[in-house]
Structure 1
Amino acid sequence: MVPLDSLDWIAIAAYFLILAGIVVWVISKKQSNTEDYFLAGRNVGWFVVGASIFASNIGSEHVVGLAGAGAGDKLPMLIYEIQAWVVLILGWVFLPFYKRSGVFTMPEFLEKRFDARSRWVLSIFSIIAYVLTKISVTIYAGGVVVSALLGIDFWTGAIATVVLTGLYTVLGGMKAVVYTETLQAIILVLGAGALTFIGLDAVGGWESMKETVSPQYLNMWRPATDPDFPWPSLLITSTIVGVWYWCTDQYIVQRALTARNIKEGRRGTIFGALLKLLPVFLFLIPGIIALTLKMRGELHWENPDEAFPVLMSNLLPSGLRGLVAAGLLAALMSSLASVFNSCSTLFTVDIYKKLRPNTPEKQLVRTGQIATVVIVIIGIIWIPIMANISGVLYEYLQKVQSYIAPPITAVFLLGIFYKRINALGAFVTLVVGLIAAAARIVLELIKDDLNPNGFLFAVGDVNFLTFGAWFFLFCVLLVTIVSLLSSIPSMEKVKSLTFQTITAEDKADNKASYNWKDILVSVLVLGAVAWVMIIFNGR
């Protein structure tokens, strides 16, 4: 690692000064009610919505994990980064139902579609899952990145970023989060994009790089018999996880809900889908470049997770290196800010307000701020636990998500597409599904102590992608069968919340919310996804 110099520190300082200016401006605006604090007053334009969606998604685990996947022969994981087409599903399919229902949170939507039981299950589970996965993994990865970039120890880097991010999230709420994320998205794209171009030039271009690592290395499609990434299971399970993450998870959907109307929200998701194509070029390809230079003896790193920061410090000139460092700090802070705000929203709106429905708006905002502080403290407590995690960070994340996504995806998809799905079917599927997901994680951890010929070992040992695909089918059958064997839901309950009950007036309003430009850009995004799938086919 080449240490940062004076110009680099000037670039980093400039970034933080601009960030502080945005936060001060937001705090100066009055935020006395929950709509202002948690959804930025529902008055955000498409550019900020799209940039916020992108910045929320891109965290330090991408820098550590996705670049590491490129440098460590795990290219099939790329499929999770070309899910721009799933982001389009959020805008074209799900968002009209969410905006029409006027909800703040995804659990709240489940209550409107089903009943309070499903809301409670999803609220509590989501908060626990955020703390155990998103917050802890982001803090750990962030500590690694910050300590490597700034030359400080892991603990100092991790705690400083958590406290700083928590501070502006508490004070500024959702408005501070989405506007700072817009700045962070711009810096991240410019900085990491510069590294990709300079890196490709350093290795002699794409074809020269391909010759060094071999064309087969660049193949994301493994045979159906591959023990790690069989392509049918990879395609199916990544889609299930994608629908859960992009279309039903509070962490992402909350950004689309801040839009002033369906038109701005949909355009925001289309813009977010365009930006979602960039991580392939911003992180994965730099990882492959780092591997190429290592194979040629021009670069050295011990662990694939070190590939991106080592490449950055050795290839970039002074000043630009500081800009990229600021971009990586931006990635860390935007992810943390998003999950802090989403957790406080879920706790305040779905738990505290349900228990105390007559609480004044100002007190709800204060409760949200306190909840954020508590979550920041829990995140810090988790640092030593996450410090023991292995280097396969990105794969670890996808494994956990492959187990928790199927029941939630099944309930939301069928809940919107099939009016016969009722509250009992949704509740049973969420409870059984989440218990089964927890059981699979435990069995995977203890399988070495189980009988190799036993049923429990077989369940814990099956490929995580294959398990995810079959688990989703089980959840679809469960929610359907339980619903058909129990009472028909009231039509008042499902009115305008499923495709089968949407009114002619709602259809007309939705049709008026887009034009040919929105359709054209969406088609271009789909074409770009297909192109990426083709160029990474090992030929």
Structure 2
Amino acid sequence: MLSSLSYLDITIILIYFGIILWIAQWASKNKSESGGAVDYFLAGRNSGWLVIGASLFASNIGSEIILGVSGAGARGNMPMANFEIIASLVLILLGWVFVPFYLRTGVYTMPEFLEKRYSKACRSYLSVISILAYVITKISLIIFAGALVFETIGIPFWTGAIITVVATGFYTVLGGLKAVIYTDMVQAFILLIGTIAVTAFGLYALGGWDHMIDVLTIASAQEGNPPTEQFFNLWRPMTDTEYPWTGMLFGAPILGVWYWCTDQYIVQRTLSAKDINNARKGALFAGYLKLLPVFIFFIPGVIAYALLQEGAIDFSMENADQALPAMINGFLPSGLKGLAIAGLLAALMSSLSSAFNSSSTLLTIDFYQKYKPTATQKDLVSFGRIATVVLVIVSLGWIPFMKSLMGGGIFHYLQSVQAYISPPIAAVFLFGLFYKWINAKGAIVSLWVGFAVGVFRLVAEFLSNEGTIQVNEGSFLGVFLDINFLHFALFLFILCAVILMIVSKMGQPQPAEMLELVTFKRRSERLKVKWSSDATLTVILIGLVLALWWLFSTWGIAN
């Protein structure tokens, strides 16, 4: 593909890099009045809703999401798109339920909030688990997907991985969160323009929507190909081994609550808001943006599959995650091809820079500052920059292990691993906000039991896939591993919630003064919400989600 890039394409890519580096330099020079750690880790707490929403979207939509969702489209795994749609609903929870508590307490990190609600032990647990999760499911996966993007333009995998790390790490270290969120805003729009162009030109090359349906119908008659309706139906039977509707409707939101409402990687953007209104509007704006991946990531994958059937495109279904890059290479004209590649690089760099900044924030605030309370603001910023380098090295080391877990594609890997670590965290945050009698002992026991069960599942699955252990059908371990990962997330969430409640009931509640800022008030005061533009936007967003569910729940969409 490198040889197929015109000078115009290369120029556009270089202009993209120039703009990003210029914004990072601008952000590093324009300090807020707060200065120091507040400026570096929380962008001076002065961000507006537009940059927050765009940053939430761009941070989430990395190359691994784009390649993974488009790969799911090519495989006919339409239910995967539900993760994107459900995120819109969970972002409503972030804006209305969680954000007010986070901003009211003035925390830097999510573990810091857990300490205020429960105890130091809970804070330490979440700090360690979050950093491990970033290595396992974020940084290394983003680097892996980014290296695949570089492979499509003729650059070797590991060379691409190193270029990815160095280029992104440079501007992240330079400007902190302010550089991250302002570059995210620009990258979000570049990403949208590039992927919309891929969709439009791919569909045009195929001959339109009706012809695509005809191609899918003919292909479905051949043995081994998915039926046509599989490409357009978000829901599968409860007995489906991959994406049962029960798992999607009840299990996927648990992953969403952890990721969108309690994970430092995402929530840090809302912590930088000027006020609650800007944070909430930013979350809602991101919710609207999260409806787009169905059309600009998943549908292009379906288009790529149809083009493959006609021999108009060349990629392997064993590596369907490369469907979108293959379309970029095959159908975009000079100039737009460079813009689309810039869009993929934008997705890569925005999510990776967010992971770097969030990881360094956790290491700095929850570890370094804790053990060195006399550290100056300059010391905190310096340590945060050094922490980024260490995490990058560790993440690169995890990539070879990650490959063996990726039989279902990038996106499947990401969601399945999250299903094993997120339920206990989601339970502790969610129930802790609503019930004052939930105490620290119940929280820490629930967290550790949930962690043990989740890690047991993850390790057993890894060893089974590697052939290290033999699992007999019908055995306890065989039945345990056969549980769908979304059902497993639901069961683990219920288990952790029960443990949380039982252990808490056996002890004493936290002191009342400790709970003042971190729990809801009396029930009669919870519902005192004035109707506002935010409420109107929320209702419209819910309506759009329901419309999408209806649209992609019938065969009528394809006829």
Q: How does 1:337-352 map to 2 (within 5 A)?
A: 337-352=353-368
Q: Which shows bigger deviation, 116-125 or 435-444?
A: 435-444
The AA in structure 2 aligned to 1:250 is Q
Cα pair 2:137 2:418 within 8 Å, conserved? no
1:496 shift after superposition: 2.9
Instruction: Determine whether 1:420 maps to 2:437.
Output: yes
Instruction: Determine whether 1:239 maps to 2:283.
Output: no
Q: Which shows bigger deviation, 161-170 or 200-209?
A: 200-209
Q: Which shows bigger deviation, 456-465 or 18-27?
A: 456-465
3-state DSSP class of the match of 2:519? Answer: coil
Q: Deviations over 1:101-141 (max 9, x none)?
A: 11111100000011111000000111111112201111111
Alignment partner of 2:207 out of 193, 204, 208: 204
Q: Which runs of 5+ in 2 are unaligned?
A: 218-227
Q: How does 1:381-400 map to 2 (within 5 A)?
A: 381-386=397-402, 390=406, 392-400=409-417
Tell me how far apart the structure 2 counterparts of residues 192 and 228 of structure 1 sit (CA, whole Å).
27
1:40 corresponds in structure 2 to: 43
Cα pair 1:37 1:173 within 8 Å, conserved? yes
Tell me how far apart the structure 1 counterparts of residues 372 and 157 of structure 2 sit (CA, whole Å).
41
Q: How does 1:50-65 map to 2 (within 5 A)?
A: 50-65=53-68
Cα pair 1:443 1:457 within 8 Å, conserved? no
Cα pair 1:71 1:307 within 8 Å, conserved? yes
Instruction: Determine whether 1:186 maps to 2:202.
Output: no
1:318 shift after superposition: 0.3
Q: How does 1:140-289 map to 2 (within 5 A)?
A: 140-148=144-152, 150-214=153-217, 215-217=228-230, 218-289=232-303
Cα pair 1:419 1:500 within 8 Å, conserved? no
1:463 shift after superposition: 1.6
Q: How does 1:394-413 map to 2 (within 5 A)?
A: 394-413=411-430
Cα pair 1:240 1:405 within 8 Å, conserved? yes
The AA in structure 2 aligned to 1:17 is G
Tell me how far apart the structure 2 counterparts of residues 210 and 412 of structure 1 sit (CA, whole Å).
45
1:298 corresponds in structure 2 to: 312
The AA in structure 2 aligned to 1:5 is S
Tell me how far apart the structure 1 counterparts of residues 503 and 351 of structure 2 sit (CA, whole Å).
37
1:224 shift after superposition: 1.2
1:386 shift after superposition: 4.3
Tell me how far apart the structure 1 counterparts of residues 392 and 463 of structure 2 sit (CA, whole Å).
31
1:297 shift after superposition: 2.5
Cα pair 1:494 1:501 within 8 Å, conserved? no
Instruction: Determine whether 1:483 maps to 2:490.
Output: no
Alignment partner of 2:90 out of 86, 89, 102: 86
State the TM-score, normalized to the length of structure 1: 0.95
Instruction: Determine whether 1:10 maps to 2:31.
Output: no
Q: Deviations over 1:203-232 (max 9, x none)?
A: 333343233324412112111121222111
Instruction: Determine whether 1:365 maps to 2:381.
Output: yes
Q: How does 1:287-326 map to 2 (within 5 A)?
A: 287-302=301-316, 303-326=319-342
Tell me how far apart the structure 2 counterparts of residues 64 and 193 of structure 1 sit (CA, whole Å).
15
1:384 shift after superposition: 4.4
3-state DSSP class of the match of 2:4? Answer: coil
3-state DSSP class of the match of 2:547? Answer: helix
2:141 corresponds in structure 1 to: 137
The AA in structure 2 aligned to 1:404 is I
The AA in structure 1 aligned to 2:458 is I
Tell me how far apart the structure 2 counterparts of residues 3 and 290 of structure 1 sit (CA, whole Å).
19
Instruction: Determine whether 1:452 maps to 2:473.
Output: yes
2:22 corresponds in structure 1 to: 21
Q: Structure 2 vs 1, CA of residues 461 and 103 (structure 1 numbering), >3 Å: closer, same or farther?
A: same
Tell me how far apart the structure 1 counterparts of residues 248 and 441 of structure 2 sit (CA, whole Å).
31
Tell me how far apart the structure 1 counterparts of residues 483 and 392 of structure 2 sit (CA, whole Å).
36
1:534 corresponds in structure 2 to: 550
2:515 corresponds in structure 1 to: 494
Tell me how far apart the structure 2 counterparts of residues 213 and 41 of structure 1 sit (CA, whole Å).
52
Cα pair 1:162 1:380 within 8 Å, conserved? no
Q: Deviations over 1:40-85 (max 9, x none)?
A: 0000111000000000000011222110000012211111111211
Q: Deviations over 1:475-527 (max 9, x none)?
A: 111101110111122111111321135997x998xx57xx6322222222112
Tell me how far apart the structure 1 counterparts of residues 498 and 332 of structure 2 sit (CA, whole Å).
53
2:538 corresponds in structure 1 to: 522
Q: Deviations over 1:271-330 (max 9, x none)?
A: 111111111112111000001111222222113111100111111110011001001001
Tell me how far apart the structure 2 counterparts of residues 47 and 502 of structure 1 sit (CA, whole Å).
33
3-state DSSP class of the match of 1:432? Answer: helix
Q: Structure 2 vs 1, CA of residues 160 and 236 (structure 1 numbering), >3 Å: closer, same or farther?
A: same
The AA in structure 2 aligned to 1:78 is A
Tell me how far apart the structure 2 counterparts of residues 377 and 121 of structure 1 sit (CA, whole Å).
23
State the TM-score, normalized to the length of structure 2: 0.92
Tell me how far apart the structure 2 counterparts of residues 106 and 323 of structure 1 sit (CA, whole Å).
36
Tell me how far apart the structure 1 counterparts of residues 216 and 489 of structure 2 sit (CA, whole Å).
31
Alignment partner of 2:487 out of 450, 463, 466: 466
The AA in structure 2 aligned to 1:309 is P
The AA in structure 2 aligned to 1:126 is S
Q: Which shows bigger deviation, 92-101 or 379-388?
A: 379-388
3-state DSSP class of the match of 1:449? Answer: coil
Tell me how far apart the structure 1 counterparts of residues 448 and 405 of structure 2 sit (CA, whole Å).
28
Q: Structure 2 vs 1, CA of residues 273 and 48 (structure 1 numbering), >3 Å: closer, same or farther?
A: same
3-state DSSP class of the match of 1:277? Answer: coil
Q: What is the percentage of aligned positions where both structures have the same residue?
A: 49
Aligned residues: 533
The AA in structure 2 aligned to 1:10 is T
The AA in structure 2 aligned to 1:84 is S
Tell me how far apart the structure 1 counterparts of residues 204 and 160 of structure 2 sit (CA, whole Å).
32
Cα pair 1:419 1:501 within 8 Å, conserved? no
Tell me how far apart the structure 1 counterparts of residues 100 and 210 of structure 2 sit (CA, whole Å).
44
The AA in structure 1 aligned to 2:322 is E
* RMSD of aligned alpha carbons: 1.9
1:19 shift after superposition: 0.9
The AA in structure 2 aligned to 1:524 is I
Q: Deviations over 1:133-186 (max 9, x none)?
A: 2011111111011221x3211111110111110111111111110011111001
Cα pair 1:44 1:260 within 8 Å, conserved? yes
The AA in structure 2 aligned to 1:88 is I
